[in-house]
């Protein structure tokens, strides 16, 4: 197979054939400049990311889950995205589930052969009993990884929204998805090492997608993350600053409101802005589906 016939992520970068002969500063510069191209690839996928965010938010608003499936770097990035939603947005852990080829142990120790098992990808997804209110993000730089494809096909069979994220155009993962997100990053500085800009583009896309969904679900007021979990001293201090920023009240008043509301930023915000009790603030939030702006109105 010629270079032109290979997927973009597998081609050899002609611009970096002499990489090992360069001074360290030039190696660093080459890698950094290429990473910027990963960010550009994610930006070029804005329309597809927008559609996915809207479709996913609609399903999650009906009680669904955000599911992920991937192998290797893609799967580890999926695990990271899922793990960050609970502390950042108080999103229930059971409603952000990432499947990694080879199991959780593959997060720390590479199990490259596990990615070749499409049946296991399907079985792992179906074990979660997915339905039409759930959404799956199937991620693979190559766009051909059997594990991710197996999960994608299983999702479609049960009516789960199937979103495919890949770094090569015209691949089975994108062709088979309900929504295809192409992150066209091309050859890597270190040929074939998709943990580089392909992974960077995936991380940006996942951050953007899940954060956009959380904004649509009311987990943000203005640009303040009013549903974070204040589980340590640093986060409690952040919670106080967030309430101050949201309400214009001082530090002591904000801290007292948070204490009354069990350190729930959204409730403390409603409590102070509407001059109601903690109980009334929580009731307003419950009635509004957790949206601070709606609770205030």
DSSP code, position 236: H
Q: What is the SS3 assignment for 134?
A: coil
Among residues 197, 147, 191, the alpha carbon closest in space to that of 167 is found at: 197
- H-run or E-run covering 66: strand 66-70
Identify the active-site residue in 10, 55, 84, 280: 84
Angle at 191 between CA 70 and CA 140, to 5 degrees: 15
Any catalytic annotation for residue 115? yes
Within 8 A by CB and 6+ apart from 21, the residues are: none
Residue 237 contacts by C-beta under 8 Å, 6 or more apart in sequence? none
Catalytic residue, chosen from 115, 251, 253, 279, is 115
119 included as an active-site residue: no
Question: Which residues make beta-bridge pairs with 69?
Answer: 99, 138
**Which residues participate in catalysis according to the annotation?**
84, 115
């Amino acid at each position: 197979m010629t270079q032109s016939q290979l997927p973009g992520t597998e081609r050899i970068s002609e611009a970096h054939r002499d990489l090992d002969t360069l001074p360290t500063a030039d190696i660093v510069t080459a890698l950094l400049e290429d990473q910027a191209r990963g960010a550009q690839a994610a930006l070029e996928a804005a329309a597809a990311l927008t559609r996915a965010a809207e479709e996913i938010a609609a399903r999650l608003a009906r009680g669904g889950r955000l599911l992920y499936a991937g192998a290797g770097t893609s799967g580890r990035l999926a695990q990271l995205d899922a793990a960050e939603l609970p502390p950042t947005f108080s999103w229930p852990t059971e409603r952000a589930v990432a499947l990694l080829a080879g199991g959780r142990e593959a997060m720390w120790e590479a199990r490259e052969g596990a990615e070749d098992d499409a049946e296991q990808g399907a079985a792992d997804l179906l074990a979660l009993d997915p339905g039409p209110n759930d959404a799956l993000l199937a991620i693979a730089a190559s766009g051909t990884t059997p594990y991710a494809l197996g999960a994608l096909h299983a999702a479609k069979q049960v009516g789960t929204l199937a979103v495919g994220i890949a770094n090569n155009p015209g691949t089975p993962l994108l062709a088979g998805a309900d929504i295809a997100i192409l992150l066209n990053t091309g050859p890597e500085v270190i040929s074939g090492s998709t943990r580089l800009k392909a992974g960077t583009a995936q991380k940006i896309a996942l951050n953007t997608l899940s954060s956009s969904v959380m904004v649509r679900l009311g987990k943000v007021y203005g640009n303040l993350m009013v549903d974070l979990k204040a589980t340590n001293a640093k986060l409690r201090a952040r919670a106080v600053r967030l309430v101050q920023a949201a309400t214009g009240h001082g530090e002591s008043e904000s801290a007292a409101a948070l204490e009354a509301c069990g350190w729930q930023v959204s409730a403390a915000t409603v409590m102070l802005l509407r001059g109601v009790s903690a109980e009334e603030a929580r009731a307003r939030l419950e009635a509004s589906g957790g949206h601070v702006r709606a609770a205030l109105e």
